Amino acid sequence: MAEAGRADLHLHTRLSDGWPTPAEVVERAAELGLDVIAITDHDTIEGALEARAYVGRRRTPKVIIGEEVSSRDGHIVGLFLEKGVRPGLSAQATVRAIHNQGGLAIAVHPFWDPAKPGRVGTAHGVGWLAAELEFDAIEVENSTPGFYLYNQMAHRLAFDSGRPQVGGSDAHILSAIGKAHTVFAGRTALALERALEAGKTRAARERYEAQALLEYAAWGWDFRRKRRLAQATGQ
């Protein structure tokens, strides 16, 4: 039996709304012994490309080119991308655009702030569309503090729909990396891709240390401050 590998499939850098640089994410993942990581900045693959270039020929971690795409119906992570996916499409069109370039579409945090009929504004999760559309996997473990109930709902949805289950930290700070991750047979990005396609992945989660929770609270305060400033200046 192949040795079990660990992958964090949901990571952010300062190329979108994370604090660390792509290089810092790679170094932290290496310290933790993660075999594969996916940089999934919001609506850009630049952070992933930068991380892959930084890794170079080192053995681990392997970097998957990813993107967390802002569809009209909620956020969708595309993995194994060759180019960026345009935001603002429907969830169905976004999944199709990911598949058209040979990528895999992941319904991340589907029950966090999902779209509702008649709603105007940003939706973060695709909700029940995670079971209705051709998603390749559902994120059932997201280590963002306070997501326990959302994760439990995602677990049930994945179980009932028979979709592969994955874990991703959704890390915006270094100390969150790997707190939720995906376990698969093998140690390479190709092995992970095959495990996802075969539905043979498992989601896992680890507890936060108190200091990490304080750091996440600081990131949240900084994120809200920047958002209010952007709204005030019309950016």
- Hunting for tokens 């999934």 — which residue is that? 40
Is residue 134 one of the residues assigned to a domain?
yes
- With a CB cutoff of 8 Å and minimum separation 6, the contacts of 230 are none
Which regions of 30-158 does DSSP assign to beta strands (E)?
Answer: 36-39, 62-71, 74-79, 104-107, 137-142
96: left (phi over 0), alpha (psi -120 to 50) or beta: alpha
Residue 60 lies in a domain: yes
CATH code, domain with 8:
3.20.20.140
Provide the CA 84 distance to its chain's centre, in angstroms. Answer: 15
Please list the pLDDT of the chain residue by residue as tens digits (235 residues).
467 999 999 999 999 999 999 999 999 999 999 999 999 999 999 999 999 999 987 778 999 999 999 999 999 999 999 999 999 999 999 999 999 999 999 999 999 988 666 666 677 999 999 999 999 999 999 999 999 999 999 999 999 999 999 999 999 999 999 999 999 999 999 999 999 999 999 999 999 999 999 999 999 999 888 888 877 777 6
10 within some domain: yes
Q: Tell me which H or E stretch contains 153.
A: helix 148-161
- Note whether residue 226 is domain-resident: no
Residue corresponding to tokens 């929770």:
213
SS3 category, 174: helix
The answer to whether position 81 is within a domain reads: yes
Given a contact cutoff of 8 angstroms between Cβ atoms, the answer to whether 221 and 37 are in contact is no
Among residues 48, 57, 114, which one has the least CA distance to residue 83?
48
Whole-number Å distance between alpha carbons of 8 and 25: 11
Give the 3-state secondary structure of residue 72: coil
* The total number of structural domains that make up the chain: 1
Residue 192 covered by a domain:
yes
Residue 230 counted as domain residue: no
With respect to residue 217, please indicate whether it lies within any of the assigned structural domains.
no
Q: 84, 44 in Cβ contact below 8 A?
A: yes
Number of other residues whose CB lies within 10 A of the CB of residue 96: 15
Query: CB burial class (10 A; 0-12, 13-18, 19+) of residue 155?
Result: middle
pLDDT of residue 118: 60
Write out the residue range of the structural domain in which residue 132 sits.
Answer: 4-208
Range 207-216, long-range pairs (CB < 8 A, 24+ positions): 207/179, 208/143, 208/145, 208/175, 208/176, 208/179, 209/175, 211/175, 212/173, 212/175, 212/176, 212/179, 213/145, 215/173, 215/175, 216/145, 216/172, 216/173, 216/175, 216/176
The packing angle between helices 22-32 and 46-55, to 10°, is 60
